[in-house]
Structure 1
Amino acid sequence: MPSPAETERAVELAQRGTELAKAGKLSDAARFLREATTIDPENPQVKLAWVALKEEEGKSELLGFCRDWVKSKDEADGDKALKVIRAKGLREKEAEQAVEILFEFKGEDDLLDQVTGELLQHVGAQKWLAEQMQERPTQMYYELFERGDDSIDGLLKVLLNRAMWLSDEAFTQGHRDAFMLSLAMMMEEALEHPERAMKGVAQLLAHHAEHLHGIIDSDSFDVILTSLDIRLPSSLRSQATLATIKLFELAPSTAQDLVSKFVTTRVQKSIADELVVAFSAAAAIFPITVQAASALFLTEGFITTLVPLVESKKSHKLEQSALELVSAACVDKNCREAINRHCREWLENCVGTSLDKKRSNLAALILVKLGDEQPASEGPSIVTPGKVDQEDLIASFKSMVIGSDASSKQDSIEGLAYASLQPKVREDLSKSPKFLKRLLETLHKEATSSGAAHASNILFGGLTILVNLISYLPIQSEEEKRMAQLKAYANVQKPVPEPDELLNDAHVSARCKRVLDAGIVPVLVAVAKRASASVLALTSSIFLSLSKDAKNRAPLAQQGAIKLLTQIYDTITSTTTTPSPYPPSAASQTAQALSRILISTNPAHIFNASHPSQSAIRPLLPLLSPTESSTWQLHAFEALLALTNLASLDTPTQDHIIRHAFDIVVDDLLLSQNALLRRAATELVCNLMASPHCIERFADGSPRAKHRLHILLAMTDVDDAPTRSAAGGALAMLLSIDLAVAELLKDDKGVDFLLGLCRDEEEDIRHRGVVCLREVVGEETGNGVEEVRRKGGVEVLKGVLKESRRQEVLALGVETLKVLLGQ
């Protein structure tokens, strides 16, 4: 029996529990009631309080399931909670209470990790966790770390969301606490799941490095660099690589010094395990900063002793790490020369004698990167043939791509990405339908499979092969060709040789046709759905090459290229990351490919309500503006042709073009010194004239409209017949409005230009001139008739009737002449 004092205490706790239950703080209420039950389990008020709590819990099905799960540890109860979370939106308070209840569940549990991750998508749970990270950061971090990947991801989401924190100070401190705890976790011996801790390090560095001043020291950097070890899981190494990239961005000089110290210290120890760590780190640095990594690689005495050192240790992992380092170093010309001089024989032995396929393939890849160049030597030397022939290596890689062994795909594709820089290899690969089919199948599989660690490397390498196969030589102006020759002479070089015949347009076009016929477009559509910035840039380059030949454009459009290119352009131009992850030319290349395809495609077959034509107009607009490129006028010409084709679709499309491109087309490009640009701009105006908004901009009586009308009239008197024809067509539509006729008559030379059309050598152009005259003489005031007579229109029309043979021209000419003669 409890004492009176204990009974009183139990009642107080029960009352407090009931109050908390009514306030919605169910986990706190349960804590008070458990204590009351321990003191006086048979007390009626305590029992009533439990009933009240159960009723409150009954209002939230989720909280009841969570409570049952914590007590039972039964996975069935956890599944019920997970289903409720996924099936309905949670109230903020409900999510908060649910996550708090589940923190009574300790230890690692896959289902608990999954449920925690789901709950931490909700604001209530996120705010609760932010508060807890301020009050007890170490306990919360360790519990979430133990729980699993989804829980750590949820924590990172909270840490990076400023809205969940009460102040900037708390937000910053949360980052500092989590970063230090992640580093401390990484330093623990035999840590399970180190990638969870490294993810925290990498993400906080990537997003809020400014909050971590004073924490990052040489020990921290050592922890990160040690995690680049090739023997560790790729998930850990990828996060360590991200962290290393950010550290180099923040403090390149300091990072370079720390890396140099890290590598040289371990190399000097000459212990196999330490050498693996050092070589792994050095290899990872090359893609981040070639200059720093190559300086380290070319340190006196390193490359000359590398092979003897590796061979003396008789360690497969050390040999693998050394090969990874040498492969990475091939990105630098000086490093390649040193490798060729000191490592070639070792590499050839690896290819010929290694029982490990991965090491053999990697050595072969390095030899492909080195090419056929013989090691440089001073003085006379005896040239001996290498043990491994380049053509044999390339043929081997080609066979690996065709074969079914997935383990060798990455190395073989990377090797062919280098080898396909050679014109002969490009031609050979393109002429193998089996190779193209298997390569595209591999890319499609990697694009649609759920996240293999090497998928992005295979996608990048495979697309690089395709880019190399179908790339045209860059267009050079005559001035650029002369400058290249002058530079060659200035550098005491031989004149620039003529490009290989296999790189001429005819051969490249043939390769494009083979790749297109192999079914590349559906693969690119699949790849783009989850592509990185580099992969999207390669995709645009492929479309740019494929679209050069007009014969390819219809198949490209039919298979979805237009929609995909507009999506890629939107993705590239909407990125807010600084600096942009996309190459500077990515957006313009995408737009150029789009414009080429649109030139030769019936827009009525492509666009609909779900894919409006306006989506394709935005990418074309920047191509109309001059740039420093010598080819900008070609790109502007193609964009104008594409817009002209789009303008034939409907009035909404015309109006969209008018709103966004009219000024640059009429005020700038219509006056271009380039005859083709003038022609294309005039043809676009002709198609736009079907819109009342276009007519208004020529006929509203403003000084600017008068100037535009005069420019359009002047286009009827240029040397280029297609330009005259387009100008005549535009005027024929414009002058169908009396207001426009009135504006034309205000121009002293307006009728003269129209009579010039009627005298043209081309029958079609004369026809347009007669149409214009008929509209002028048909206006109500009679001013048009008078002006045409005064300018000699009667004689001009008689001449038209003598020269023309087409019935429609003769009929309209007779009709117009009768009006002029008053008949």
Structure 2
Amino acid sequence: MSASDYDKRAEQLVKDAQALDYQKDHEKADALLRNALQLAPTNPAVLSEYRKLKGEADLSPVTKACMSVAFRGDTSDVIGAIQYLQDHNNPLGPSALVECISTLFIDVHTDHRKAVDPKLVTELLKRSIGKTDVVPVCLEESEKRLAVLNAICSFQSEDAAHTMAKVLTDRSGWKSPTRRKDACKAYFRILRDKLGPSTKSDFALSAVARLLMADIEMLEDLVNQSCLEFLLDRVGSTKKGKREPPSPESRSLATLALARIFEVKKNVSESMFDKYITEKLGDDGDFDLMCAYEAMAVVFSIAPKVAAKMFLENEFIESLVPSLDGRSTRVEKTALDMISAAASAPAETNCREAIKTHCMEFLVSIMNANDDSKALAATILTKLDYGTKKETGPSVEELSTVFQDLMVQDDVESQKKSLEGLAYASLKPAVKESIIKNEKLIQNLISILKKGAAEPMLAYPALIIIQNLAAYPRALTEEQKKMAQLKGYANAEKLKDDEDKREKEETVTARCDSLVRSGVVPALCLKNPSESSAALISSTFLALARNQKNRGRIAQQGAIGQLLHVYEVSNSHRTKYTAAHALARILISLDPSLAFGGRISELSAIQPLVLLLTPPEENETVDLLPVFESFMALTNLASSSNDTIRQKILQLGWEKVEDSMLAKNERVRRAATQLVCNLMDSPFCVEKFADGSKNADVRLGVLTFLTDSEDLETRLAAGGALAQFLQYEPCIKVFLPKPKALPYLLRMLKDEDQGVVHRGIICLLNLLTEGGKEAKDAVKEKNGEEVVLAALKTHTSPQLLESGVEVVKILRMPF
């Protein structure tokens, strides 16, 4: 058929489409026009009618580019279309997106499929995420679904494949869960069938990982041996021939996907893993052995029981050291990495005992050989000291000198090798003392932390070491102390460590002071800490702030901002709680205006501090120290001249404050009352006691009752709060009718403490000044003048005497 014949046939199809469109059969009209475009993609009449049918006089640059590529193989407009899509200010509605995707994947001329740019496809898919009327519409029919998904994979583009996976796993973009399930399964099958040992299938890794992490329950039946082996091949860093090893990002993705598989497909994944390792070991080549050892090391971190079973059975561990004889140092290194991972496995796996039995001599010989694996061998030996009986081999203290010698070198590689071992060793009191005295080592740790974003794998163990140095022994109840002693009888060495003077409070405080002087605080202010790093940062700041002398310097060097950041970004309640506790400890005694320095609002600290008022229960005990310190910090904040702070505290924490005024713990009760005293500067707090409700009556009764507390500080705080409350006439009208109110007030004047007496006299003065004749008669009825005169004879404070004389004058004045 000649070109003119194609044009004639296309023009006839256009006429037929026009007739169908007139009859409102738009779907058939659209199909005929598409056929016409296939026959004559450059025919002006066909293009004009197509635009008219779509209701667009001028198609968007993206639609034009897609049509040009699909029907003419013309890519001249593609770059402009990609740029248009990347600017989200440029509109492109759902119908246009559907049209573009259908054009590129369904209507595209066979000869022009290779002209489709994966970048254009990726940008179209990004625009489609979360939109229920785009990709789900394109994938509705089985045939179209397979055409689109196969085409995506044919690009071998990681971005395109991963973006399609994002579209499919975004539940908000699908009205029908069944259709999403069908699409996910179809896509996973296509990707799975393209997986293989060559690098050509690497493009599918991120898409496969995303699908498995999001929908493993849906896809578990589709995960086969080749899929698992594809992922296991990509968790290591082994290079074979000219093939480059997987990137760190690829290894992380593969590890995450494997974690989900081992979590859901427990028995099946275990048998597939055994088959993979057995085959690699059977091949006996260096590359295969390294792949097996690297896979074992990773699985130890995500499914330790699965890896431990392989490690301990079929003479794996017994034959490991003999099999390394004559092998390259690369094989030996990967074997050591695996042994190190096994040594980190939970104690119940018994891996450490097996390593001590079968590998101890080998590890000691490597450590003494002074080669590149020296630090790694020493790290393993350090791990073996925990959870197993100490029989042979160097002590942790001796091993720590290996790590410290490497850490003081300026060579980054040497530091990398020693950090993990030093992190384990720094649990020992003797090692802590030797580290803190090594200024060069401390400065190198600080330097590593300051480069945290660039070297996250170094920053984490460095954080562990700093946290170990700063950690105070956990406070134990009497019952816990007895249990610790009983355990100690069975383990004399542990009891010795528990009693080690190097772990006493004054020694730990000295270590914390040294860390602060060394400049560790700015180094702890990592910009985007991981969840585990955030936990370490919070607990370290909590320890550093224990000594009141350090709090000003810690705040000045950025701790408050970092703790607020950690609180904001962390998903762990424990980390949030620890960060809030550290924040409270810093804010207890610092002037809020100086502590925040104007860069951060004091209001941002209130929510974290209120969180502390609900302490978690652990082992049937509740630690009330964070509650007490939170109240002290809130009291300090409430002393600000900014009433918005007091209003925010009342808004977020009043219920807890009110409950704590009657807490069983005396320190908590005192701190809550002191906070109320400072909050009483706010009319919103006054209202809580004077709004005429039953709750307000109860609150006022509690506050009045606390003026007679056994604890002096509580009496002072309650008296101060009551003195402020009675400054207002409406409050006096609420106070006077209560039968016990005035007797309690007069009882304050009989207190042995001059401060309480002074507050009582101020209460009387305010009551008489604002309460008029009714208040004066009520005080006289209770012999108030005699009580005041007796107090004036007992106490000599000029301010007290001045106020007392004013009270007597008012009582003697005729009305």
| Match of residue 802 from structure 1 | 793
CA spacing shift, 1:136–1:559, aligned 2, 3 Å: farther
Matched, 1:336 2:352: yes
| Match of residue 540 from structure 1 | 538
Matches of 2:403 and 2:198 in 1, distance apart?
42
CA spacing shift, 1:465–1:102, aligned 2, 3 Å: farther
Q: Deviations 1:630-657 (Å, cap 9, x if unpaired)?
A: 4521111011111111222332222222
1:442 to 433, 445, 448: 448
| Match of residue 39 from structure 2 | 35
| Match of residue 294 from structure 1 | 308
Matches of 2:331 and 2:740 in 1, distance apart?
85
Matched, 1:197 2:204: yes
| Match of residue 123 from structure 1 | 128
CA spacing shift, 1:130–1:626, aligned 2, 3 Å: closer
| Match of residue 549 from structure 1 | 547
Structure 1: 5+ residue runs without aligned partners?
378-382, 450-454, 576-581
| Match of residue 380 from structure 1 | none
Count of paired positions: 786
| Match of residue 647 from structure 1 | 638
Matches of 1:388 and 1:493 in 2, distance apart?
14
1:347 to 357, 360, 363: 363
Matches of 1:488 and 1:124 in 2, distance apart?
59
Matches of 1:479 and 1:353 in 2, distance apart?
49
* Offset of residue 489 of structure 1: 4.9
CA spacing shift, 1:425–1:193, aligned 2, 3 Å: farther
- TM-score in terms of structure 1 length: 0.84
| Match of residue 556 from structure 2 | 558
Matches of 1:387 and 1:689 in 2, distance apart?
57
Partner SS for 2:699: helix
Matches of 1:151 and 1:128 in 2, distance apart?
16
CA spacing shift, 1:136–1:102, aligned 2, 3 Å: closer
Partner SS for 2:727: coil
* Offset of residue 468 of structure 1: 1.2
Matched, 1:149 2:158: yes
Matches of 2:411 and 2:406 in 1, distance apart?
13
* Offset of residue 565 of structure 1: 2.3
* Offset of residue 75 of structure 1: 9.3
* Offset of residue 153 of structure 1: 2.1
Q: In the alignment, is the contact (CA less than 8 A) between 1:731 and 1:772 conserved in 2?
A: yes
| Match of residue 597 from structure 1 | 586
| Match of residue 500 from structure 2 | 500
* Offset of residue 526 of structure 1: 3.2
CA spacing shift, 1:315–1:131, aligned 2, 3 Å: farther
* Offset of residue 726 of structure 1: 0.8
* Offset of residue 427 of structure 1: 3.0
Matches of 1:20 and 1:565 in 2, distance apart?
68
Q: In the alignment, is the contact (CA less than 8 A) between 2:584 and 2:630 conserved in 1?
A: yes
Q: In the alignment, is the contact (CA less than 8 A) between 2:723 and 2:763 conserved in 1?
A: yes
**Where does 1:689-700 land on structure 2 (aligned, <5 Å)?**
689-700=680-691
Q: In the alignment, is the contact (CA less than 8 A) between 2:449 and 2:462 conserved in 1?
A: yes
**Where does 1:781-792 land on structure 2 (aligned, <5 Å)?**
782-792=773-783
CA spacing shift, 1:84–1:408, aligned 2, 3 Å: farther
Q: In the alignment, is the contact (CA less than 8 A) between 1:29 and 1:53 conserved in 2?
A: no
Q: Which amino acid aligns with 2:198?
A: A
* Offset of residue 226 of structure 1: 4.0
Matches of 1:124 and 1:372 in 2, distance apart?
49
**Where does 1:499-518 land on structure 2 (aligned, <5 Å)?**
499-518=499-518
Structure 2: 5+ residue runs without aligned partners?
239-244
Q: Which amino acid aligns with 1:116?
A: V
**Where does 1:82-101 land on structure 2 (aligned, <5 Å)?**
82-87=82-87, 88-92=89-93, 93-98=95-100
CA spacing shift, 1:49–1:772, aligned 2, 3 Å: closer
Matches of 1:709 and 1:10 in 2, distance apart?
90
Matches of 1:759 and 1:16 in 2, distance apart?
107
**Where does 1:90-239 land on structure 2 (aligned, <5 Å)?**
90-92=91-93, 93-98=95-100, 112-123=117-128, 128-133=134-139, 134-145=142-153, 146-165=155-174, 167-186=176-195, 188-194=196-202, 196-231=203-238, 232-233=245-246, 234-239=248-253
Matched, 1:759 2:750: yes
Matches of 1:424 and 1:335 in 2, distance apart?
27
Q: In the alignment, is the contact (CA less than 8 A) between 2:761 and 2:800 conserved in 1?
A: yes
Q: In the alignment, is the contact (CA less than 8 A) between 1:368 and 1:394 conserved in 2?
A: no
* Offset of residue 375 of structure 1: 8.9
| Match of residue 628 from structure 2 | 637
CA spacing shift, 1:73–1:725, aligned 2, 3 Å: farther
CA spacing shift, 1:416–1:118, aligned 2, 3 Å: farther
CA spacing shift, 1:78–1:348, aligned 2, 3 Å: farther
Q: In the alignment, is the contact (CA less than 8 A) between 2:38 and 2:71 conserved in 1?
A: no
| Match of residue 323 from structure 1 | 336
CA spacing shift, 1:705–1:65, aligned 2, 3 Å: same
Matches of 1:757 and 1:412 in 2, distance apart?
65
CA spacing shift, 1:597–1:189, aligned 2, 3 Å: closer
Matched, 1:586 2:590: no
Q: In the alignment, is the contact (CA less than 8 A) between 1:757 and 1:765 conserved in 2?
A: yes
CA spacing shift, 1:344–1:251, aligned 2, 3 Å: same
Matches of 2:315 and 2:656 in 1, distance apart?
62
Q: In the alignment, is the contact (CA less than 8 A) between 2:767 and 2:775 conserved in 1?
A: yes
Q: In the alignment, is the contact (CA less than 8 A) between 1:368 and 1:419 conserved in 2?
A: yes
| Match of residue 578 from structure 1 | none
Matches of 2:351 and 2:542 in 1, distance apart?
34
Matches of 1:391 and 1:189 in 2, distance apart?
41
The more displaced of 677-686 and 160-169 is 160-169
Q: Which amino acid aligns with 2:478?
A: E
* Offset of residue 102 of structure 1: 5.8
Q: Which amino acid aligns with 2:354?
A: A
Q: CA RMSD in A?
A: 4.0
Matches of 1:173 and 1:269 in 2, distance apart?
39
CA spacing shift, 1:797–1:481, aligned 2, 3 Å: same
Matches of 1:202 and 1:80 in 2, distance apart?
32
Matched, 1:420 2:426: yes
Matches of 2:471 and 2:397 in 1, distance apart?
29
2:723 to 722, 726, 732: 732
**Where does 1:614-693 land on structure 2 (aligned, <5 Å)?**
614-625=603-614, 627-629=616-618, 630=621, 632-649=623-640, 650-666=642-658, 668-693=659-684
CA spacing shift, 1:616–1:107, aligned 2, 3 Å: farther
* Offset of residue 354 of structure 1: 7.8
Partner SS for 2:664: coil
CA spacing shift, 1:347–1:787, aligned 2, 3 Å: same
Partner SS for 1:121: helix
Q: In the alignment, is the contact (CA less than 8 A) between 1:484 and 1:496 conserved in 2?
A: no
Matches of 1:598 and 1:523 in 2, distance apart?
21
* Offset of residue 763 of structure 1: 2.7
Q: In the alignment, is the contact (CA less than 8 A) between 2:343 and 2:380 conserved in 1?
A: yes
CA spacing shift, 1:282–1:353, aligned 2, 3 Å: same
CA spacing shift, 1:648–1:107, aligned 2, 3 Å: farther
Q: In the alignment, is the contact (CA less than 8 A) between 2:677 and 2:717 conserved in 1?
A: yes
| Match of residue 363 from structure 1 | 377
Matches of 1:170 and 1:384 in 2, distance apart?
61
Matches of 1:265 and 1:51 in 2, distance apart?
60
Q: Which amino acid aligns with 2:693?
A: S
| Match of residue 241 from structure 2 | none
* Offset of residue 811 of structure 1: 1.9
* Offset of residue 738 of structure 1: 2.5
Q: Deviations 1:675-706 (Å, cap 9, x if unpaired)?
A: 21121011011011112222222223333323
* Offset of residue 292 of structure 1: 3.7
2:254 to 236, 240, 243: 240
Q: Deviations 1:182-241 (Å, cap 9, x if unpaired)?
A: 22121x3524252x3232332222211232253234554344334434424143332222
Q: Which amino acid aligns with 1:734?
A: F
* Offset of residue 179 of structure 1: 1.7
